[in-house]
Structures are given as C-alpha cells and as structure tokens.
Amino acid sequence: MLALALCAGCKHPTSSAPALKPTASGTAIVLVGGDKQLGSPGSRLSQPLQFQVNDNLGNAVTGAEVEITGPKGVIFDPAQVLTDENGQATFKVRLGGISGRYELTASSRDAHGKPFSLTVAEFAAGYQEQVGYEVNEKYCSRCHDQDSTVTQVSNYDNLAVKPHSFSNGDVYNKITASDLATIITHGGPAINRSALMPPYGWTLNKAETQAVIAYIRLVSDPPYVAPGVVYAKH
C-alpha cells in the first residue's frame, strides 16, 4: 500500500495558470461536495470537488481566490479559481496513477494575507479495492455506516453494539489482517466480539474477503501503514 508515500506532505501545484485577481477574501473554507470518491488510478473523478469560502459571519464570499494542491500526479482543472456568485470554487480532479489515498488541500487567504485551508481525501482504487468497495456496499455499509443513503437505510441505530466506520483508522489500523479475515469469515464471537457482527464465510469467497480488507486499508484515516514497510526519506 503506497498511501503514505502519496500523502507525505509533498504538495505540488499542478499548473501555472495566469495570476488571478481576487476581489474579496474570506476566513474559512467549507466542503460543498465531491470528497471521498473512489476512482481507478489515473482516472477523472465523476464528481467535481466543490468548496465554499465564507466570511467570519458564515456568509459566502464571491471573488476570493482558492488554490488546490495534492500529491504528485494529481491533475486539477483549474488549479486556482475565484469563487463564483455563490461563493463556490469547483475543481475537476484526475487522480494519480498509483492506487491509494490522496489528500487534496484547498487554500485561500484572509484580508491580512494569512492562509486558511481545508484538506479532503479521494481514493484511487485498484481492481481488488474496487471489488472490496462493492462488497462493502452490498453487505457491510448498512451496519458500518451511520448515514443512510438514497438507496439504503442505515441499520446502525438499531444495533446494541456499535460497529466502526471502515475509515476509522484509529480502530482498524490496530486490527491485523488475519483478525480482520477471522471476524469477517466467522463473525464477532470468533475474536470475542458481539454476535451482531455476522459471519460471512458462506457468502464471501476468500478473494472477496481479501478485497474488502484491501478496501478497509485504502479508506483508513489516518492512513494504514503496513507493518515492516520502511519508507525512504526524500
């Protein structure tokens, strides 16, 4: 897993567009939408990434400059923009060619030139992780995700013991791959957890179980670092 290498602070602006002339400034950037998408490595995300710049009263600001940066290999269109009449800045994003978690940062400056920013994540998923995503959507997310979606009502609130979101790296990064495989295959009691976590050994084959584990590692925040992997310093 190359996630760490991808988000290890090496931010590269991806284009040298002509300087924009901001006519206003705000104090905060909020996310409007487009984060946490899953795409193939090197593909363009289906939804654009959208931010809004607000002033200190929470009102949208038109004409503020927003710049977006990310790890090497990510392409933004545009890379800088002025917020529109709704105070929003919209960026199309093409992911880098390596699968992993990509942290993207939108930044702007207040009236005193002091920068403020917001960082979101997108995921470049290889084949195995895509399969894992589909397994999650089909079998797991109804209990593991708190939020209901258009197509699925969450069962989370009905559970007496609460499962964790797969992106909860503080929990998931501490569980070994072999324990993950055990609880997924044999259910909660196999590792002294609640029987509300059902066994999937009859439903998922080994490849699908490994795929959902790969997906869990992909979306982990903080990122998952495989034990024993040593990263070169720049």
Binding residues (CB under 6 A) for ligand HEC: these are: 135, 139-140, 142-144, 155, 159, 161, 163-164, 171, 180, 183-184, 188, 193-194, 196-198, 200, 212
Torsion of CA 99, 105, 106, 107, to 10 degrees: -160
- Grouping H, G, I as helix, E, B as strand and the rest as coil, residue 43 is coil
Closer residue to ligand HEC (CB): 64 or 125: 125
The distance from CA 15 to its chain's CA centroid, rounded to whole angstroms, is 23
Q: End-to-end distance of the chain based on CA atoms, in angstroms?
A: 18
Spatial neighbors of 120 by CB under 8 A, at least 6 apart, are 31, 35, 36, 49, 103, 104, 106
Closer residue to ligand HEC (CB): 94 or 138: 138
Output the six-digit token pair for 157.
Answer: 């609130």
Q: What totals of helices (H) and strands (E) does the chain contain, helices first?
A: 6, 9
Helix axes 206-219, 177-186, angle to 10 degrees: 130
Closer residue to ligand HEC (CB): 77 or 134: 134
Closer residue to ligand HEC (CB): 54 or 155: 155
Closer residue to ligand HEC (CB): 45 or 219: 219
- CB 226 to ligand HEC: min, Å: 17
- CB 190 to ligand HEC: min, Å: 11
- CB 81 to ligand HEC: min, Å: 39
- CB 101 to ligand HEC: min, Å: 18
- CB 27 to ligand HEC: min, Å: 37
